[in-house]
Structures are given as C-alpha cells and as structure tokens.
Amino acid sequence: MQLYGTEIGSPLLLGTAQYPSPAVLTKAIEASGAEIITVSLRRESAGGSGMGFFEILQETGCRTLPNTAGCHTAQEAITTAHMARDVFETDWIKLEVIGHSDTLQPDVFGLVEAARVLSADGFKVFPYTTDDLVVGEKLIDAGCEVLMPWGAPIGSGQGLRAPEALKAMRGHFPDIPLIIDAGIGRPSDAAQATELGFDAVLLNTAVATAGDPVQMARAMALAVQAGRAGFLATPMERCDMAVPSTPILGLAELA
C-alpha cells in the first residue's frame, strides 16, 4: 500500500483513544502490527506515567497520523490541522469535519472545502468521508490521494452497513488507496472490508473497549490479512443453486 509515496506494510491502522491504560495501549499497538496510529490534539497527557502521551506514542515506532476529531466546521478543522503539524512535525492529517452530532456523519461540503485548503498548503490529507462516489471525486479533485469512507457511525460497531456501495466505490476508484474508517466492531467486519478490496482498515473502539484489547488487536490484524489474501486470490462467484463438486458423469451405476 502506497500512501502519499510512503510504502505501508500493515493493512491495519489503529486509534489511540479509550484504552484503560498507556501500558495496554502500547501492548495493543504491538500486537496489531500497525505502522500508523491516529491521535487527536484533544488527547490528555497520560497522568502518572512520567512522560507525556505523545512521547508514549513516539516510543512505539509507529508513524503518527494526527486527526481533527471534534471539528464541526471547515475553518476549525483547518486551524486544528495547522496546530497538529506544529506539534507532531508531520504534514499528514486525518481530516474530520463532523456534520451531525448524533451519527457523527461527515459534513462532506465542509470536508471538501477544508481538503482543498489544506492540500494547497502542503498537507497530505486523509479524509474521513462517506461512500458517496461524487464526494470521492471532489475530494480527489481537491488534492486527496486517499479516501477513507465510513463503514458505519463512529464507535457503533455495526460493521459495514452498505457493502454494495463500498464495493461500487472500490470499482469506481481502482487506483486510489481506500481505507475503511469507523464502524468496525468485530474481526469478521475487518475481514469483510479487506475482502471487498479495501487496502486497509482504521479502527479504535473495537480494540480499546474489548475485554482484552491486546487479544482483540491481534485478532483484527489476522482478520485484515485474511481478508486481503482472500481478495487477491479472487474468490469464487456466488451461485443461486447448488453446484456439485463431484462430476455426475462417470459415477458407478449399482444394479
């Protein structure tokens, strides 16, 4: 997977919120095999750990993808992105512009506006978007080289609510890296995403709030790898009727 000219080996990106402790977070990151982790500027420092939260993340060796979580206008997201670039010393930014407080659905109009401004300013934008093909086209025209459609509302764990729309998106953008962002709840959801041809999955809540976050991180890593391998193997087509695996011709006839 090539993201803005950088080769990424792992098809799993991991968020860093809601973990029970910094120690569990670092163990989960290691178990996931993730090479990219996301973090918000709103994250508080890890109390009592002897070092700040950002320093803990740096020690994992992963690439940090700061995000504009909680921003509800294009201007707020643009300002937050500039602050993130100063803090993390990276021009990569996961762009979120929230349009609906209950579903946390992206404001696609503000998203395209912010993406255009940030791309022109040298940012490598990773937009959290919907599965709308027109919006995807406009984000690419705005300078984005990757699209991150939601599978379901953030933190809902509903899996892929519109697999056919996502499948159409994969077909419409064959050369654009596509990453499912939000809604993944179980390893089977993650496997379905990569089996549909998506290059990677970004998730947080499913791992952070699991009974055993480290074990769940390991399970998610295996799931995305299995799904990706299945996609590359070209799965069999579904049939409406049974197809015998043993040929009928040549069977012995018993008197």
Give domain limits for the chain: 2-233
* Catalytic entry in 27, 94, 138, 167: 94
The answer to whether 183 is a known ligand-binding residue is yes
Angle CA(89)–CA(30)–CA(82) in degrees, nearest 5? 20
Rounded to whole angstroms, the Cα distance separating 115 from 11 reads: 24
Query: What's the mean pLDDT when you consider all of the chain?
Result: 91
- Quick one: fold of 2-233? TIM Barrel (3.20.20)
166-177 average pLDDT score: 96
DSSP line for 170-215: HHH-TTS-BEEES---SHHHHHHHHHTT-SEEEESHHHHTSSSHHH
The answer to whether 155 is a known ligand-binding residue is yes
Q: Which two tokens stand for residue 212?
A: 């055993």
What pLDDT does residue 49 have?
43
| Predicted TM-score (pTM) of this structure | 0.89
What pLDDT does residue 101 have?
83
Task: Tell me whether residue 124 is one of the annotated catalytic residues.
Answer: no
The answer to whether 193 is a known ligand-binding residue is no
Render pLDDT for 10-65 as a digit per residue (tens, 0 to 9). Answer: 999 999 999 999 999 999 999 999 999 999 876 543 444 445 788 888 888 999 99
Render pLDDT for 75-120 as a digit per residue (tens, 0 to 9). Answer: 999 999 999 999 889 999 999 999 988 888 999 999 999 999 999 9
